[in-house]
């Protein structure tokens, strides 16, 4: 059983695949439970190649079974999870990419799990959410440590960013290899 908030046809909302049609599956603790077979059937009913799953492997280890089933059927699965979640259990599947969220870099929680670093692949993405100049500075320090060399690194201004223009002006002066992410409105439903 999985707690499923949504299974819906939509567009990739952010990252390198923004705008590609996909099925978005959101798994959260307080959502209604669904049988795993029913989850897979509903996803497959959309007949789309790309599947985006938002959820924690630590809190929902059953997701690995769903990911395995979908990748075995030729689906391309993107797992969107927090940076401190372990991705080791899904790395054996070839049609999986990982989108790690780190919110915000200055907080004590939701930091990147160091065991994930050697597991990251070129197709993966990391999003660092920026609320203020301190977050931006910490995120730049994170990149300067060269812990992350392969996946795309995206900086994302949060909805409540303090002085976003100041951060963008600083970004234009910098030479580090990252970019600000683009995002399609969450309000778009197909």
In a domain, 21, yes or no: yes
Check: pTM over 0.75? Answer yes or no.
Answer: yes
In a domain, 185, yes or no: no
Give the H or E element holding residue 168. Answer: helix 164-173
Q: Could you report the per-residue pLDDT of 90-141, keeping only the tens digit for each? A: 988 889 998 888 766 556 655 777 788 788 888 888 888 888 888 888 877 7
**Distance from C-alpha of 172 to C-alpha of 30, rounded to nearest angstrom:** 41
**Distance from C-alpha of 126 to C-alpha of 155, rounded to nearest angstrom:** 8
According to the model, what pLDDT value does residue 47 have?
Answer: 95
According to the model, what pLDDT value does residue 30 have?
Answer: 86
List the CATH number of the domain containing 119.
3.20.20.70
Split into its structural domains, the chain has a count of 1
**Distance from C-alpha of 50 to C-alpha of 53, rounded to nearest angstrom:** 10
In a domain, 186, yes or no: no
According to the model, what pLDDT value does residue 181 have?
Answer: 66
In a domain, 67, yes or no: yes
Q: Could you report the per-residue pLDDT of 72-94, keeping only the tens digit for each? A: 999 999 999 887 888 888 988 88
In a domain, 190, yes or no: no
For residue 86, the tally of other CB atoms under 10 A from its CB is: 15
The residue whose two tokens read 């201004």 is 157
In a domain, 187, yes or no: no
According to the model, what pLDDT value does residue 189 have?
Answer: 46
Question: Could you tell me the residue range of the domain that residue 109 belongs to?
Answer: 2-180
In a domain, 148, yes or no: yes
In a domain, 40, yes or no: yes
């Amino acid at each position: 059983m999985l707690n499923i908030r949504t299974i819906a046809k939509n567009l990739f909302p952010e990252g390198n695949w923004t705008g590609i049609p996909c099925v978005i599956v959101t798994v959260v603790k307080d959502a209604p439970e669904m049988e795993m077979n029913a989850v897979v059937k509903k996803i497959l009913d959309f007949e789309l190649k790309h599947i985006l799953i938002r959820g924690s492997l630590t809190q929902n280890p059953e997701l690995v079974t769903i990911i395995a089933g979908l990748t075995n059927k030729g689906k391309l699965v993107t797992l969107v999870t927090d940076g401190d979640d372990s991705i080791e259990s899904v790395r054996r599947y070839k049609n999986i990419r990982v989108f790690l969220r780190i919110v915000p870099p200055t907080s004590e929680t939701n930091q990147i799990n160091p065991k994930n670093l050697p597991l990251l692949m070129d197709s993966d993405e990391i999003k660092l959410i920026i609320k203020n100049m301190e977050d931006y500075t910490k995120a730049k320090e994170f990149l300067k440590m060269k812990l992350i060399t392969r996946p795309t690194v995206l900086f994302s201004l949060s909805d409540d960013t303090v002085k976003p223009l100041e951060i963008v002006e600083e970004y234009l002066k910098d030479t580090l290899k990252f970019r600000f992410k683009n995002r399609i409105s969450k309000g778009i439903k197909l």
